[in-house]
Structure 1
Amino acid sequence: MAGRGYTIFDTGIGRCGIAWGDFGIVGVQLPEAREIETRGRMLRQYPNARELRPPLNVEIAIEGIVTLLRGQPSDLSDVTLDMSGIHAFNARVYAFTRTIPRGETRTYGEVAASLRASGAAHSVAQAISRNPFMIIVPCHRVLEAGSYADRISPNGGTISKRRLLSLEVAGSTSSKTLFDVLLPVAPPRPQG
């Protein structure tokens, strides 16, 4: 690869965008209401990128994203992400989030505890809200405890966490039900 490129591609939920550079994927954009808006966001976020035919490793990532958005299993764990410019804590959050199995969710607090940063739930939420690698880093699998926030990062376009989770659950063989995933129940608090 030489320099930054991007392309717009079809999925079951609309036209998405993906940008890449010499060291891997730099961003994924889920559909906006209209393709021109998706393209405009890509150009604003990656002003030095040119619209190009994607190289093989990006084509593989696109194929995985398309498959996942069709509600079918897809393993994106081998997709190389360019984390240059990403804060070190956010990179740790993204690496952990990539390990959450399809159709399952975690809370911000659970992610923080897994990273041995138990008081950092707010920092996890901030990292998730800045996720530039939509779907590849499945931030829709990380939720607020005790309530269901349907917000997704700006790269999520008009798509909600609820919709992405419902796509995953529809084709999932997980033991969790759709209700469990969409409306997670916080564990009971100790009395006393």
Structure 2
Amino acid sequence: MVGRGYAIFDTAIGRCGIVWSETGVMAVQLPEVREIDTRRRIFQIHPDAREQRPSDNAELAIDGIAALLHGSDPDFSDVSLDAGGLPAFDRRVYEATCAIPRGETRTYHEIAKTLGASGAVHSVAQAIVKNPFMLIVPCHRVLEAGNYTDRLSPYGGVISKRRLLSLEGAHPIASKTLFEVLLPVAPPRAPS
């Protein structure tokens, strides 16, 4: 194999994509509405990747992703990642994220605190949003304060954190609507 490869593969939620190098998995793309859009997203982010048969490491990741999206609890510890171009802080965030057990969630603040950087909540959120290793690094388990679900990374396709968490048995709160932010719910009245 020369350079970067990619493959499109079937899962319980649609056709996903994976990009790899000789070092390891570089990105996982969850399905877009149409497969052509999934491919387009891969080309936008990795224009030099060529479609080919998955490497052994990519195949191991594909098997785990397919199992996870079918409701199983795969072990990704043997999957090598190519995180060479990522900032050291982001890699630390991803390591902490991988330690979150299936069916549980953490907030950006909790991850920052785990890293000994409680003032870096925004930086944690940015790292989670940029996570290229969807599902292998379970960024869907990291939520904003109040356990509100929010958007996934650019690799997230049309699948929501809420749906991914429901596959794992977690039940987060839906994102706040603009109405809820502007007009908070009044506290209940005391009985007369």
What interval of TM-score do these two structures reach, taking the shorter chain for normalisation? 0.7 to 0.9
Deviation at 1:84, TM superposition (A): 1.2
Using the alignment, how far apart are the partners of 2:82 and 2:96 within structure 1? Answer: 16
Matched, 1:25 2:15: no
SS at match of 1:26: strand
Structure 2 counterparts to residues 35-184 of structure 1, below 5 A = 35-169=35-169, 178=170, 181-183=171-173
CA distance in 2, matches of 1:16, 1:78: 20
Displacement over 2 Å in runs of 4+? none
> 1:152 touches 1:160 (CA, 8 Å); kept in 2?
yes
What is the alpha-carbon distance in structure 1 between the residues aligned to residue 93 and residue 78 of structure 2? Answer: 17
Where structure 1 has 5 or more consecutive residues not aligned to the other structure, the ranges are 170-177, 185-192
Aligned-partner residue type, residue 120 of structure 2: A
Instruction: Judge conservation of contact 2:147–2:172 (CA < 8 Å) in 1.
Output: no
Q: Which has the larger radius of gyration?
A: 2
What is the distance in 2 between the residues matched to 1:49 and 1:3?
7
TM-score (norm: length of structure 2) = 0.87
User: Contact 2:25–2:57 at 8 Å: present in 1 too?
Assistant: no
Measured in 1, the distance between the counterparts of 2:149 and 2:66 equals 25
Question: For residues 134 and 153 of structure 2, what CA distance do their matches in structure 1 show?
Answer: 8
Q: How many residues align?
A: 174
Offset at residue 165 of structure 1 (A):
0.2
One-letter amino acid of the counterpart of residue 78, structure 2: D
Q: 1-side partners of 2:92 and 2:2: how far apart?
A: 27
Question: Is the contact between residue 25 and residue 81 of structure 2 (CA under 8 Å) also seen in structure 1?
Answer: yes
> What residue is the counterpart of 1:6 in the other structure?
6
* C-alpha distance in structure 2 between counterparts of 1:75 and 1:125, whole Å: 25
Alpha-carbon deviations, 1:34-89, whole Å to 9, x = none? 00000111111111111000011111110000000001111112211101110110
- CA RMSD of superposed structures (Å): 1.3
- SS for the counterpart of 2:19 is strand
CA distance in 1, matches of 2:131, 2:40: 18
Mean Cα deviation higher: 39-48 or 158-167: 39-48
**CA-CA distance at 1:149 after TM superposition:** 3.0
- 2:159 alignment partner, SS class: coil
- The residue aligned with 2:187 is none
Aligned mates of 2:139, 2:28 — CA distance in 1: 12
Q: In the TM superposition, what is the alpha-carbon distance from 1:147 to its structure 2 partner?
A: 4.9
Which residue is equivalent to 1:173? none
Task: Report the secondary structure of 2:145's partner residue.
Answer: coil
Give the SS at the match of 2:86.
coil
TM-score scaled by structure 1? 0.87
Structure 1 residue 95 displacement after superposition: 1.1
Counterpart-to-counterpart distance in 2, 1:95 and 1:32: 27
Give the Cα–Cα distance (whole angstroms) in 2 for the partners of residues 157 and 64 of structure 1: 18
